[in-house]
Amino acid sequence: MREDLTSLDHLSLRERAGQVLFPRIGSNMQPPVQIEDDAARVEALLDRCPVGGLIAFNGRLGETSRALASLQELSPVPLLIGADVERGVGQQVAGETLFPHGAAFGVIQDEGETLLEAAARITAREALANGIHVAFVPVADVNRNPKNPIIATRAFGSDPERVARLVRAYVKGCKAEGLLCTAKHFPGHGNTDQDSHEVLPSVSDPRPLLEQIDLVPFKEAIEEGVDLIMTAHVAYPALDPTGNPATFSRAILRDLLRQEMGFTGTVVTDSLLMGAVSQRYPDPRDQAAALLNAGVDVFLDIPDPESMLNGIIKAVEEGLVDEETLDEAVLRVLGLKQRLLDRFGTDIFTQPWNLFPNEGRPSLPSKAFARQVAGRSTTILKSNHSIFPVVPGSVDGHRIVLLFVDPHRTSAALHDEPLCEAFLETYPESRCLAIGSDLDIRGSEEALRAVARADRIVIALVVKPAAWRQFGLLPKQEVLVQTIVSRHPVVLISLGSPHILERFDDAPVQICTYSDSEPSQYAAVDVLSGASVT
């Protein structure tokens, strides 16, 4: 491996064009594919298309690092591996630590920044040990629209100054351990009410308001030395009257981000599979030219890497984009690789487990820390001492019922959730009913009969942002919950957005965990039972 990766002398136009391409390995979409099982496909791709890196989804502890290292051996230039690890490396590598959503850190007023920096350091060590070099975190969006279907609890909060401090803490934690990190989604996805995975949202706010709110966390991230900034597939007429989404906007990426805000790092797109941009330029040549001319350095999650590679080459050869513009992007990508090489040596690409021998196995202290964060963030928003807490043994176990409501999965898939497991362990002989997307009349009638015989009724709602999925409960689920709340005293728990609780104001007890992650589900039962969480 070359000690100096920042020279372009040894790279052909084809090789340089490949450096800006980061297709996926593995997938969490249907049908799911694990990183290890996708390695052969990517190996074949590398023979045809010299990509600069990958975005990794859905791996397994102990296998992901080996699969990625084997691919590194096939690439003349080291591959830069990125991953969306907003909730920790466990989000993409099963067995590693999983944290609550960002909003959970935001509600911990006294130590949120300290805890987040510590979480970032854990994430950094685990990521690097698994062969991942770039975290597509932190979310720097200010969540100021309760109807936002895709940011919501992923953001640290709705106060720009508070979000900015937490963004800075996350960047600081990553930098301390050597993980490259990414502030997203520039210039701010927090005031949208549509999902950019499906359509192109537009934010109509005037520029002074955007500067006062949305740009604040990005300014802090830049000052702290964030390595990358990810674009939003969102239009901002006040910043670019053409209506171009930020991803394709020279006014937003070159004029605002680089010239006015002084960002000198790497600009990466959000996924190019997303509906907001995937059909915008049907010709890969035109899309490549538009992205490079706008100021993009990394094309992330490309549907067809080979077509895009040829599109970049054509765009340069036909004069649609200057070769110097491409080279500027390539040098930024190579610069990130060089920084890793300078700090860690070649093992960071080929044998990362040698550098982090304590991180390549399940870490009980890290998971205990995640559980502590979840406990600290779980909030009792409304209480009634006649039915809460539900102290184990104080009520006949047969008379306690939990309804676990999730709009994204079928009822059968919900029974293995940590919340149900912890609930049944805490309240033996109680009953847990899963209310999934397949709820029908029979299921509703069964739930109504069960709660009619119960002395304690607990309803847990999963309301979280998820790509290509509806935000909020399904209408049939909401009708069922509303019916039960109107008839019975209910302990209502939101495993996600607190705003869903406003729709069921009759519930005498309301609790919010701000996340449905595993530690948050356990924390919900801890709070429900009155157990202390340390």
Q: How many CB atoms lie within 10 A of CB 318?
A: 10
Q: How many CB atoms lie within 10 A of CB 468?
A: 13
For residues 21 and 137, give the distance between their C-alpha atoms in angstroms, rounded to a whole number: 19
Q: Which amino acid is at 65?
A: S
Residue 252 · residue 236 · CB < 8 Å? yes
Q: How far is CA 222 from CA 187, 228, 291, in A?
A: 13, 9, 22
For residues 309 and 466, give the distance between their C-alpha atoms in angstroms, rounded to a whole number: 30
- 82 forms bridges with which residues in the sheet? 55, 134
Helix (H) or strand (E) holding 434: strand 431-435
- 94 forms bridges with which residues in the sheet? 60
Contacts 24+ apart (CB under 8 A), 434-438: 434/404, 434/406, 435/403, 435/404, 435/405, 435/406, 435/411, 435/477, 435/480, 436/406, 436/407, 436/409, 436/410, 436/411, 436/412, 437/406, 437/407, 437/408, 437/409, 437/410, 437/474, 438/410, 438/411
∠ CA 181-127-468 to the nearest 5 degrees? Answer: 70
Q: Which alpha helices (H) appear in 213-320, and where do they start and end?
A: 215-224, 250, 275-278, 284-294, 305-317
Helix (H) or strand (E) holding 59: strand 59-60
Catalytic choice (270, 297, 406, 526): 270
Query: Which letter does DSSP use for residue 201 in this model?
Result: -
Residue 289 · residue 252 · CB < 8 Å? no
Catalytic choice (101, 133, 189, 197): 197
- 245 forms bridges with which residues in the sheet? 235
For residues 174 and 134, give the distance between their C-alpha atoms in angstroms, rounded to a whole number: 10
Q: Is 197 assigned a catalytic role?
A: yes
- 93 forms bridges with which residues in the sheet? 59
Burial of residue 293, with CB atoms counted within 10 A of its CB: 0-12 exposed, 13-18 middle, 19 or more buried: middle
For residues 307 and 448, give the distance between their C-alpha atoms in angstroms, rounded to a whole number: 55
| Residues with catalytic function | 197, 270
